[in-house]
Structure 1
Amino acid sequence: MRIGIVVDSACDLPPEFIRQHGIVLLPITVRIGEAVLADHRDEEATLGFLHAHVAEGGAEAETIAFSVNQIRDLFLGTLVIDYDHVFCMTITKTRSPIHDNAMQASFAILNDYKPVRQAAGHNSPFALRVLDTQNLFAAQAVTAVEAVRLRESGASVQQMRERLEQLAGNVHGYMVTRDLYYLRARARHKGDRSVGLLSAALGSALDIKPVLHGYRGDTAPVAKIKGFDNAVQKLFDFTGQRVRNGLLTPTVCVSYGGELSELRTLPGYAALRDTCSANKVELLESVMSLTGMVNVGKGAVTVGFADEHHSFTA
């Protein structure tokens, strides 16, 4: 059984991990004024676009998810030939239309794949599962990493489906942003009133940084901490404690809205890396997707891991 794994480009995985494991991307396109870039998880291109455009006009950027027809064409063009079963794992459907687009495309794909496969010499059936990861960015990546681990361990399609569906509801994503004014401007542009002017102004004036928690499709603040460095250190310390307590999968994913050399100098990060190593947990770090950066701002940190229900403690 040839099993394929598909993610959208908001999934914060290192490019080398994507290449090594043959993960297929559904690119999300970002348009800022006249500048347009399809995000293929190319860190150099992402950072170049960040420095040239995001800081100035990112709050008014337009993000364009792969359409129903584009997803259909990708599957019928290559994936129904290369694989027998595909798991397509998307960013939470509460924040993007890409999950609904993939679901709509799946009906056409399953109706139209037979002649394509037969022409390529495959007479066996093709199947796919569209899975809502119920999370964002680094947290979205945790489910994809587990899919790779399961596939490489020889798990059956049924075992993978059951495990991934169960896991998606138990992944926790955390984020600290640098600029609340940017976050508010972006939210306002998208019609999201979750970050009010008063809270943005107060937070910026007092240098208060909220820690946001993504879980089961919802995102909400769980702490307010003075100072960005202090906030990320407390987040890294908390993550390290959850690692020591034992996670549901041996993976922590971290993404940063800028150069990874900056991430590695943030307070608490080296200690988190040591804690993961001591507990045989893989720490995957990546530049945040372009989609992520235009939505939450330059210099944001996101962390994802699978764990039982818990409360954040600073």
Structure 2
Amino acid sequence: MRIGIVVDSACDLPLEYLERHDIHLLPITVRIGQAVLADHRNEQATLQFLHTHLAERGFEAETTPYTVQQVRDLFVSQLVIDYDYVFCMTITKTRSPVYENANQASFAILNDYKPVRSAAGINTPFALRVIDTLNLFAAQGITAVEAVRLRAAGEGAPKIRARLEHLALHTHGYLIPRDLNYLRARTRVRGDRSVSFLSATLGTALDIKPVLHCNRGETGPVAKIKGYENAAQKLFEFTANKAESGLLTPTVCVSYGGELSELRALPGYERLREACRNSNVELFESVMSLTGMVNVGKGAVVVGFAAEQADFKG
């Protein structure tokens, strides 16, 4: 069985990895004033957009995911011919309509695929499964990497589906914003009151950074730490300890809202890299998606991994 993998462009994995493993993208388009960019996970294009547009007016950005019709057209024009079963993994539906659009499109796809496959000389059934990763950004990468591993191992679609859905429940994403005022302005534009004016003002004045945790679609603060670099160091050390004690998959994903050289210079990051090397855990580094950066701000860092328990304390 030919198994395909689809993610949206908020999924923080390196473009080279996506291309090497034939992972298809549902791009999300970002508009800031008159500037428009469809996010295809091109790091150079993302960084150029960041430097020229994001810093000043990024909090005003409009993000537009693929519509139901666009998802349907992508599948019917290409994927129903190339594959027999497709897993489409999306950013959590509590933060984006990508999942709902893809899920609605799945009904039209399953109604429309037969003539297309028949014309291509394929008379076997086609199936797909839309999976809510229940997480954001770098943490979305955990299920995608596992899907690649299972496919390469020759596992069948039912086993892959069960594994991915189980893994999504135990994937943990941690985010540290650099600029709380930006995050507050962005959440106000989105109608999200999760970062209050008082907490943003006090946090900025006292240089207190929250560590936000996402699991099963729910996001909230788990610690408040003085200083961005100190917060990043504590998060990297926590993740390193998790990698050494054992994860549900041998994968850690990290994304950063800027140049990766800045990420690698943060205190504690080399400790994380060393822990992953010594524990045979694959560490994926990527520039944060444009979608991620307009929502959480330049310089934010996100870490994702899968574990039964995640009990971060600052």
Structure 1 and Structure 2 fold alike (TM over 0.5): yes
Structure 1 residue 255: Cα displacement? 0.1
Q: Are positions 1:268 and 2:279 aligned together?
A: no
Distance across 2 between alignment mates of 1:262 and 1:198: 29
Question: Structure 2: how far apart are the matches of 1:310 and 1:217?
Answer: 15
Task: Return the offset for 1:244.
Answer: 1.1
Give deviations 1:144-168, integer Å, cap 9, x for gaps.
0000000001111111010001000
- CA offsets per residue over residues 196-250 of structure 1, 9 Å max, x none? 0000000000000000001000000000000000000000000011111100000
Matched, 1:79 2:55: no
TM-score by length of 1: 1.00
Deviation at 1:269?
0.4
Q: Match for residue 282 of structure 2?
A: 282
How many angstroms does 1:38 deviate by? 0.1
User: What is aligned with 1:305?
Assistant: 305
- 2:27–2:66 Cα contact (<8 Å) kept: yes
> What amino acid is aligned across from residue 156 of structure 2 in structure 1?
S
User: Structure 1 regions of 5+ residues with no counterpart?
Assistant: none
RMSD over aligned CA atoms reads: 0.5
- Alignment: residue pair count: 314
User: Where do 1:57-72 residues align within 5 Å?
Assistant: 57-72=57-72
Question: 1:98-132 CA deviation, whole Å, 9 max, x = no partner?
Answer: 10000000000000000000000100000000000
- For normalisation by structure 2, the TM-score amounts to 1.00
In structure 2, how many angstroms separate the alpha carbons of the residues matched to 1:257 and 1:88?
Answer: 25
DSSP 3-state at the match of 1:249: coil
Q: Distance in 2 between matches of 1:20 and 1:117?
A: 25
Write the mapping of 1:209-224 to structure 2, written as runs, cut at 5 A. 209-224=209-224
Alignment of 1:1-314 (within 5 A): 1-314=1-314
Instruction: Point out where structure 2 has 5 or more consecutive residues left out of the alignment.
Output: none
d(CA) in 2 for partners of 1:81, 1:56: 44
Distance 2:234 2:54 in 1: 27
Determine if contact 2:60/2:189 at 8 Å carries over to the other structure: yes
**Structure 1 vs Structure 2: percent identity of aligned residues?**
71
Which amino acid is the alignment partner of residue 43 of structure 1? E
The superposition leaves residues 229-280 of structure 1 with CA deviations (integer Å, 9 ceiling, x where unpaired) of 0000000000011111100000000000000011110000011000000000
Find the aligned partners of 1:161 and 1:244 in 2 and give their Cα distance: 27
SS in 2 for 1:109: helix
Q: CA deviation at 1:310?
A: 2.8
- For 1:293, give the aligned amino acid: M
In the alignment, residue 241 of structure 1 is paired with which amino acid?
A: N
Contact 2:174 2:214 in 1 (8 A): yes
